[in-house]
Chains A and B, each alone.
Chain A
Amino acid sequence: MQMNKWSGLALAAGALALSASVHAAPPTAAMLSNACAGCHGTHGGSAGPSMPSLASQSKTAIVEAMKKFKSGERPSTVMGRLAKGYTDADFAAMGEFFSKQKFHPTTQMVDAAKAKKGASLQEANCSRCHLDEGKDGKDDTPVMASQWLPYLQMQMGLYQSGARKMPEKMAEKVKPLSKEELDALIHFYASQK
């Protein structure tokens, strides 16, 4: 008796729920992007030192990164698998969403002397693409400012091992630099807010 009454209720509610969901709109940019925030922070502002902030990134940089993760061209751990769950249109929507979020400044321990040295190196070598001290992400150039040191170090490691391919213009500039100079650059970008 109790069971009958109960399953009747469940059925009615189930039918109601079913009819409601039929009219659901396809996932919005926010719906797609919010799912990333567990690892990349709310609105793409990362609190985890090996995860990049996506907030205020250039749309193209995000789309390009996701496509390269998906194809395997850019080495990754989880990103290659996750990227396979999305279409190019999804990447564009996520890129648009994160590009509109406020820049996420981080407070981290950087070596002031290295950062100072890095400032002039950036000016001389990187500033034509990494605009405004790495704060401005343009086209496929990512925002570098305030990214976590460990993240920047891990990516530079991948570039140097050849696992991650540098764009030609970047390779030209990076190859002549010493390990110490690259380290200084990384400290500079991490220190920028």
Chain B
Amino acid sequence: MTLERRSFLTLFGAGAGAATLGMAGCASQPGSGGGRKVVVVGGGYGGTIAAKYIRMMDKSIEVTLIERNDHFVSCPFSNLVLGGMMPDLSKLTIKYDKLAANHGIKVVQAEVTGVDAAAHTVTTSKGVFAYDRLVLSPGIEFRTDEIKGFDENVTPHAWKAGPQTLLLKKQLEAMKPGENVIISIPVAPFRCPPGPYERASMIAMFLKEHKPGSKVIVLDGNPDIVSKKGLFLKGWKKHYDGIVDYRPAKKVTEVVPGAVLVEGIEEVKGAVINVIPPQKAGHIAHVAGVVGPDKKWCPVNPMTFESTIHKDIHVIGDSSIAGAMPKSGYSANSEAKVCATNIVALMNGNEITELSAINTCYSYLSRKEAVSVTGVYRVNKEKHVIEPVPGSVGVSPDLSETEAVYAESWLRNILTEMST
């Protein structure tokens, strides 16, 4: 404990840069004994789990989790706040103290400003951290340059849960009955494929209960509903007929006062405008130089999640290109465990293990009904990509009250796993 604290403190001292560099160089020999270090950046669905499982599997590896906030707010279930099913974000918020104490993870609240892949260092607002292996789980960043006039303070995206969720909720509450809401959905891939359609359902529920005569106009940049299509259409017809106005192949390119423009031409007016901009890997992935030639997402080895661009940097969660696995919270959780397992193997000079991963994701259609999508994933060794196991990918046969009950437990379990 004392030893850990001391080495931790040296990172902050004057002239620590040289010392840490030396340490990194020395410690990067696999199996060289003590002082082996993993730095994890991002305390969300992926990062917390990667940090925890590395420590559970090998206590001799020091793990530092760097996160800019002192808490994390879950995006999954944040649509329920908009629908009025959750009064606030408290059930979606976790802290890091128990995780840190239970597993001996050093949690540092700091902003990452640089990653030096060659020197194996991460520069932050609280000093320089050396690593043998770095795990990046930075979520998403928005390609706001593709939406002219976008200002998140005026037309919130609410696609990172927190103040943005509450701002959109406030706008919904303030609108007059009979006025319309617009949701603009970006072209896939984006974080949480069924999320925008769940949001349409939750906002429609709110309008039905509180704003008679109001509609939610869904402008989808995609040619069709991206996920759970049949179930959303069924739910909208059952509960929100005439309230959800779904319009496919309507790519929003500009925000003007009180309206959006589709492809720069067709104006659609709304009192509340929720623009979910197109997305790319989180900012830190760009800083670290692990974003691929598409300039959006990070190519990785499908077994270890090690970047194919920079050695010893692993990218998990929404930022990574994980083959057929969707950009979901559960995917990030599952990817983190695979990544942790193989980081521990690599750092001990052991053989890595093939990926076996799961996605399970619920969406609410009404107060009492939810639907799910599932998948079990393995690596196709010939194609070297993550693929679903045939038969395991599927959606609920119908809207289900039982699934809404299970969904709540999903949230309880996954947030508990991340925070303890």
Q: Which residues of A does B touch, CB under 8 Å?
A: 3, 6-7, 9-10, 13-14, 16-18, 20-28, 30-32, 34-42, 46-51, 77-78, 81-82, 84-86, 90, 150, 154
Across-interface contacts of B406 in A (CB, < 8 A): 50-51, 77-78
Chain B: residues with Cβ within 8 Å of the partner, total of 64
Given contacts A35-B357, A39-B413, A47-B412, contact A17 B334 (CB under 8 A): no
Does residue B246 face the partner (Cβ distance < 8 Å to A)? Answer: no
Across-interface contacts of A51 in B (CB, < 8 A): 406, 409-410, 413
> How far is the CB of A97 from the nearest CB of chain B, in Å?
12
Of all A-B residue pairs in the complex, the 5 with the closest CB atoms, nearest first, are: A85-B376, A48-B409, A85-B392, A84-B391, A17-B301
Whole-angstrom distance between the alpha carbons of A150 and B408 in the complex? 12
Q: Which of B361-420 contact A (CB under 8 A)?
A: 372, 374-379, 381, 384, 388-394, 396, 400, 402-403, 405-406, 408-414, 416-417, 420
Evaluate contact between A14 and B304: CB separation under 8 angstroms.
no
Q: Which residues of B does A touch, CB under 8 Å?
A: 52-53, 56, 292-293, 299-304, 306-311, 330, 333-334, 337-338, 341, 351-358, 360, 372, 374-379, 381, 384, 388-394, 396, 400, 402-403, 405-406, 408-414, 416-417, 420
Whole-angstrom distance between the alpha carbons of A42 and B98 in the complex? 14
- How many A-B Cβ pairs are below 8 Å? 167
Evaluate contact between A32 and B356: CB separation under 8 angstroms.
yes
Given contacts A41-B413, A47-B413, A82-B376, contact A31 B341 (CB under 8 A): yes
Evaluate contact between B358 and A20: CB separation under 8 angstroms.
no
> How far is the CB of A170 from the nearest CB of chain B, in Å?
22
Evaluate contact between B308 and A14: CB separation under 8 angstroms.
yes
| Listed A/B pairs (24) with beta-carbon separation below 8 Å | A10-B292, A13-B311, A18-B301, A21-B381, A23-B351, A24-B352, A25-B354, A26-B354, A31-B355, A31-B356, A34-B53, A35-B376, A36-B358, A39-B410, A41-B416, A47-B416, A48-B408, A77-B406, A78-B403, A81-B393, A82-B392, A84-B376, A86-B376, A90-B356
Across-interface contacts of A39 in B (CB, < 8 A): 360, 409-410, 413-414
Nearest residue (CB) in A for B300 is A17
Evaluate contact between A85 and B391: CB separation under 8 angstroms.
yes
Whole-angstrom distance between the alpha carbons of A82 and B306 in the complex? 27
